[in-house]
Amino acid sequence: MVSISKDSEILESWQQVLAPYSIGYRIKLLSQLLTRKFTEKLEPFGLTPFHWLVLCCLWQEDGLPTSSIGDKLKQVGGTLTGVLDRMEERGLVRRERDAHDRRIWRIWLTDAGKELEKVLPPLAADLRDQAMMGISASERELFSQLLNRAIANLG
């Protein structure tokens, strides 16, 4: 028979893994809140957070193959293809066959897609600053490093 104090110790140790106290639950909640707020900021532009991610990839390196965008974003082809279809319909990107390998489609920003680089990153920075209010630069850096380590541990 386990003593009540032993049961209490076990239950107390489990508190760290039970929602709403677990770090996983709180990271999920933070992600949901950030996504909801960012979706609101993107809505006037007719964009989604996934559009934002694709734009970020292309702002850093225009003309990426579809597969490279998928690899960077950890997305399966079907999901990405639909997003790229909608972005092409909106005139934000264009697709071209690779000059050296006709099996590869490269994604290029249009002028409209390039113009969004002047508008959207400041909106993202404002949201980041709102979320990190009261958190010092060194704490932000540590938080980022710890998240990267946890992601690497599970990746």
Supply the DSSP string of the chain, one letter for each residue. Answer: ---HHHHHHHHHHHTTTSTTTSHHHHHHHHHHHHHHHHHHHHGGGT--HHHHHHHHHHHHSTTEEHHHHHHHHT--HHHHHHHHHHHHHTTSEEEEE-SS-TTPEEEEE-HHHHHHHHHHHHHHHHHHHHHTTT--HHHHHHHHHHHHHHHHHH-
Decide: 92 and 109 in contact? Cβ < 8 Å: yes
pLDDT digits (tens, 9 = 90+) for 70-104: 999 887 666 899 999 999 999 999 999 999 999 99
Handedness of CA 114, 89, 55, 36 (dihedral sign): positive
pTM (2 d.p.)? 0.84
pLDDT digits (tens, 9 = 90+) for 22-68: 899 999 999 999 999 999 999 999 999 999 999 999 999 999 999 99
Domain ranges across the chain: 27-154
Establish whether the linkage from the previous residue to 122 is cis, with ω within 30° of 0: no
Decide: 43 and 75 in contact? Cβ < 8 Å: no
Q: Does domain 27-154 have CATH number 1.10.10.10?
A: yes
Decide: 108 and 46 in contact? Cβ < 8 Å: no
pLDDT of 79: 84
